[in-house]
Each structure stands twice: as C-alpha cells, then as structure tokens.
Structure 1
Amino acid sequence: MRHQLGYDDIKAAAERIAGHVRPVAVAPTEGLGDAKAAGNTGRTGRTGRTGRTGRTGRTKGAELWLALEYLQHTGSFKARGAQNFLRAHREARTLPDAGVTIASGGNAGMACAWAALRQGVRATVFLPANAPRVKVARLRSYGADVRLVGTEYAEALAACEDFAATSGALASHAYDHPLIAAGAGTLMEEIHTRVPGLDTVLVAVGGGGLFAGVATAARQHGIRAVAVEPEHSRALHAALAAGRPVDVTVDSVAGDSLGARRATALAVDAARPDADGRGARSVLVPDEAIVRARRELWEDRRILVEHGAATALAALLTEPKTDRDSDDYGYRPADGEKVCVVLCGANTDPATLSASPEPR
C-alpha cells in the first residue's frame, strides 16, 4: 500500500460519494472553557500572523466553529470512507461474492455495514468484546454479521485478517487505507467551503485516517491541521517522535474509538511540517479534559458526542503540564484566529454523561 495521499485522491472521493453522504453542518460558537491561558502557539495559518490571547480563557479573541459531523449517516465521519472504499471497488468490479469484512472499535464497522447494505453487499464486522453495546446493536440493525473478539482493536483486526484470508471477503480497514482516508478528507473540502478564511482545524486522532485526509486537504488550502490525541493513547504522537509508526499502549476514556495501537503511515506523512515549519501539528490532552469537553458540549449546547469526538474540543481546555511540554499539550488559538473543531462521532450511550468513566 502506498503511504502518501494526494489532493487528487480527495477530489476523486468527493465526486464518487457526492449525493451518498450528508454534507457537514457547521455552527459558530462562543469561547469555550475558562482555563487560564498558558504558553502561546502563535498563529501559523494562511497569513502567518502571530498574536496572543487574553489571560482568561484559552480561546479569548479567537473565532470558533464546530463541524457537526456526528450528524453524518451512522453517526460518524466513517460513512465517507466506507462509501468511497466500496464504490471504488464496485467501479473496478473487485467486490467478491463473500462481501466485505472489517475490524473496528464500532464506528468504522457501522459505516462499512451501512455502505454494504446500501449496495447489497454482505458485511462481516469484528469488534473487541468490550465495544459499547449501542454500537453492537446498531451494527446488527444494518444486517452485519457481528463477531466479538478479544479486548482490543488489534485482536479484532487479527481475527478479521484471518477471516478475509479464508473466506475471500474483501478486507476493508478502519483507517489504514488510501480510499478510506481520502473519503474522510472530503469533510475538509466541505468545511473549507462553509467556513471561509479558516486558519486551523482540530481533529481527534485514533489510527489517523480522518487526520490523514483532513490534513491533506487542509494543506491544499493553507489551513493548519492539528491532530489531538489522549495522552495515554498517542499512536500518531509516538510515530512522529520515532519517525515511523510504532506500537503504543492504550489507556483512555476515549479508547473505544481512539484506541488504535499504531497510526497509519498515511497520517504520519500528512503530519510532517511543511518546509517553512508550518502546516500540521500534533498535541495531547488528558482524560480529564476529554470528559470535561464532552459534558460541556451537552450542558451548554445540548450536543451529545462520544469521548473520541470530544477529544478534539479538549485541546482548547488543556494547559501544558510544564514549560517543557508546552508544545505537546493542548492548543491555544491566537487573537483573531479562525478555528474549527471537528465533532466526528456520536455513537454513545447518553447514560454515560452522568456516569462517565473515571479518567485514568
């Protein structure tokens, strides 16, 4: 598999899935959070200007938008990649009678099953046995053959690969495939159209398929893409430090959707800075900020998302732990910076709002 993604791939995906996914809705919002500002990232969007925010609140002076992608078919952005993957194989006449199979924390499986149902294709989905029940139920509602294996995504993936080898089913992937990432990147094309003058987009990262697509499209338009990961589920951050994808441990409240042990090389390539040092950036957030961001979205805006989706917003609520890691923790917009936070999924149990998992 090639480890680079081009803007032409995203444009082709946009044409392929047009009319088959819901266009993203965007909404402006007032400042988020009241954490004391610390550190200064500066502004490195299209104009390269540098500014400072005020002392009360990490987002004071910035213009903030929310991309409501959780309203997408199946409740997450994954529908875009699944449609692009299956429609591309349909065009190439490479869809086998055995159908398609995928391993997933839930959202990619639902998207694959939904897209397969739309095209009359059989879908076999492998999930960790501890996947949220709401996701398992939704999968079965799409007619998927659901198989629960192990306790981590990596175990479900191994079982999926064995099934594909023995059954002849077409193996899709939750994030590590150019067609999947290109489909996800169509989201950035729509955001760019709906929010003129955008400087920065914040994206939650698990395996990195969404980030790879968004960052590739964002670079085309001179927009900075910020990858946001839980501090104890940092596959992309670790890969960038090592210079290649590496395995990491996963221990986060957002682990059900951002629990990939290893980031796709597509994301690692997309995250490398431009020659002038601008472009993409990778930051971490603690579980406490993720839980807080999710609750704030519900309490202040009546938006219910999963912890994985709230991770992107948590970047605006996170302060550096020390001066040494000020560039690694959280994101602080500059005065006048126009920032869009992607809320990428909402397949969650509302009851967990009052009984959120304890941060670890």
Structure 2
Amino acid sequence: MTATGLRPAAAGTLPGPADVAAAATRIAPYVLRTPLLHGPVTAAHGPDLLLKAEHRQAGHSFKMRGAANAVLALDADRVVTGSSGNHGIALAWLARSLGIRLTVVLAAGAAPAKAAVIRALGAETVQVGGGVAEREERAGRLAEETGATLVPSSDHPLVVAGQGTVGTELLADAPGTETVYVPTGGGGLLAGVCLAAAGHPVRVVGVEPALTPRYARSLTEGHPVQLPPCATVADGLRGQRPGR
C-alpha cells in the first residue's frame, strides 16, 4: 500500500475496542506481555503506584506494539516514518526481522544515541531542521515520492489500536485501578489506553511537558493548536500539535 492509500484511513477511520483486541492477537508473536512493577511510595498511606514495564520490549518502549500492528496489517515491504527515536527503533527491529526497507526521518533535536541504534539495526535515517511538524511533513513527502507506506508514530488507527494493548493488559492485571497516567507525545498511547478503558470505571490522565502544553491548550481553546518546538529531557514527548 502506498502512502496515498494510507491517508484515508488515518483521516477518516476511528478505531474501537474491537480493534485493540484484534491488535493484541496480531502482535502477540512480536511483543512481550509486560508486568506491572511496584513503584515508590508517594505518600504515607497513599494509593499503590504501579508501573507498566514497557522498557522490557524489544526497542525498550511501548512503540513496538503500534509499529507491529500497522506493519503486519498493511503487509508493507517498504516503510517511511517520522520519529523522535523510539518508534523508529521499534520499526527498525521489525524491519530487520521481516526484511522490510525502512527510512526514519528525524527532527533536529533527535537523540544521537537513538539515531545510532536505528542505523545499527539496518534502517536509513534522514535528518531535517525544525521540530516534529517539519519532520512529519518531510516523512509524508518522502513516502509519496518513493511509493513507500507511511507509518506514523502515533496518528493512525492501527498504531492507536496497537498501543491500546498496553491498557488492556494493565486493566486485566490490576482491575481495581482508579487512575492511569499516560505520557503524551503524539497521543497514540493516550488514545489507545482510552479505548482499552472503555466500560471500565477508571480515570485516564494524559501527562505532557509543561513547556509544550498543546493538549491542554487545545482543549481550552476548543480546537487543535500547534506550539513551537521545545527542549525537554522527555524527548519522546516533543510533539507540537495533537493528532487528528
């Protein structure tokens, strides 16, 4: 499927809980069912804090879930993506295993160590100036020019459904959970966890860098807003605009 063929799904198809269940079956050979680890005590007699151990995945992040679901469902043999690093690393692991040709577009502030891992796994990297917005524009244009399949890091229903399997596992292992805090960059994990939480009495809270509050601003203003790039130690959360 070409990048052009991918876009209608990204723009017009909303995933549902059934898509998360289908993703869990599809990606099972490629991902680990990670445990919940006990975190530090946050206050005397406070609630238990559990941490989902996604650092144990190949590529060391939850990004393997969405990447695998999209690549396997689309049966892609040539892929282009834009990434801050973790999504690119996950796709590079898959590309090496499945014989896929992969190009990862990185923004100016991408971590050099992550770019090096992507290249070591056999993928090609392209560096662009600017931030996430410029990165995504270049990735889309490159996919169009080469006929490759564009697999966004977050803003696609297959990616969202794959990331939602984090929430499915979490709520199965800790059904009494009252609140789930979700790191929010492109929003794929947040959207996926919301799908997984449908029908559960649980509060889902997205957490974004204070210097780039694009989700909080968008909710306040009633429409998506785009903010300038920011510097943050949480390099995977540098998205400038909420996904569709």
TM-score, normalised by the number of residues in structure 1: 0.62
Higher mean displacement: 138-147 or 220-229 = 220-229
Deviation at 1:228, TM superposition (A): 0.6
List per-residue Cα deviations over 1:110-167 (Å, max 9, x = no partner): 1122222221110001001331111011101211011111131222222111111111
Aligned to 2:222: 243
Aligned to 1:323: none
Aligned to 2:19: 9
| Structure 2 CA distance for aligned equivalents of residues 149 and 208 of structure 1 | 22
Aligned to 2:82: 103
| Structure 2 CA distance for aligned equivalents of residues 12 and 245 of structure 1 | 29
Q: Secondary structure at the match of 1:227?
A: strand
Q: Please give the residue correspondences for 1:170-319 in structure 2 after superposition, counting only pairs within 5 Å.
A: 170-254=149-233, 256-265=235-244
Deviation at 1:3, TM superposition (A): 6.0
Q: Secondary structure at the match of 1:189?
A: helix
Deviation at 1:66, TM superposition (A): 1.2
In the alignment, is the contact (CA less than 8 A) between 1:7 and 1:220 conserved in 2?
no
Counterpart amino acid of residue 14 in structure 2 = Q
Deviation at 1:220, TM superposition (A): 3.0
Aligned to 2:57: 72
Q: CA 1:159/1:12 → structure 2, altered by over 3 Å: closer, same or farther?
A: same
Counterpart amino acid of residue 10 in structure 1 = V
Deviation at 1:29, TM superposition (A): 3.0
| Structure 1 CA distance for aligned equivalents of residues 238 and 41 of structure 2 | 29
In the alignment, is the contact (CA less than 8 A) between 1:233 and 1:252 conserved in 2?
no
Deviation at 1:218, TM superposition (A): 1.5
Counterpart amino acid of residue 37 in structure 2 = A
Query: Aligned residue pairs: how many?
Result: 234
Q: Spell out structure 1 runs of 4+ moving beyond 2 A.
A: 2-5, 219-222, 249-252
Counterpart amino acid of residue 208 in structure 1 = G
Alignment partner of 1:142 is 2:127: no
Deviation at 1:255, TM superposition (A): 5.4
| Structure 2 CA distance for aligned equivalents of residues 236 and 248 of structure 1 | 10
Among candidates 69, 83, 91, match of residue 68 of structure 2: 83
| Structure 1 CA distance for aligned equivalents of residues 190 and 167 of structure 2 | 10
| Structure 1 CA distance for aligned equivalents of residues 30 and 109 of structure 2 | 31
Deviation at 1:60, TM superposition (A): 4.2
Deviation at 1:61, TM superposition (A): 2.2
| Structure 2 CA distance for aligned equivalents of residues 220 and 135 of structure 1 | 37
In the alignment, is the contact (CA less than 8 A) between 1:207 and 1:236 conserved in 2?
no
Unaligned runs of 5+ in 1: 33-56, 266-360
Counterpart amino acid of residue 51 in structure 2 = L
In percent, how many aligned pairs have the same letter? 37
Q: Secondary structure at the match of 1:73?
A: coil
Counterpart amino acid of residue 55 in structure 2 = Y
Counterpart amino acid of residue 165 in structure 2 = T
TM-score, normalised by the number of residues in structure 2: 0.90
List per-residue Cα deviations over 1:172-226 (Å, max 9, x = no partner): 1011001001100001111112223111111110110110001111133222111
Q: Secondary structure at the match of 1:27?
A: strand
Aligned to 1:344: none
| Structure 1 CA distance for aligned equivalents of residues 236 and 40 of structure 2 | 27
List per-residue Cα deviations over 1:296-334 (Å, max 9, x = no partner): xxxxxxxxxxxxxxxxxxxxxxxxxxxxxxxxxxxxxxx
Deviation at 1:168, TM superposition (A): 0.4
Larger Rg: 1
Among candidates 81, 100, 106, match of residue 127 of structure 1: 106
In the alignment, is the contact (CA less than 8 A) between 1:110 and 1:138 conserved in 2?
yes
Counterpart amino acid of residue 102 in structure 1 = T
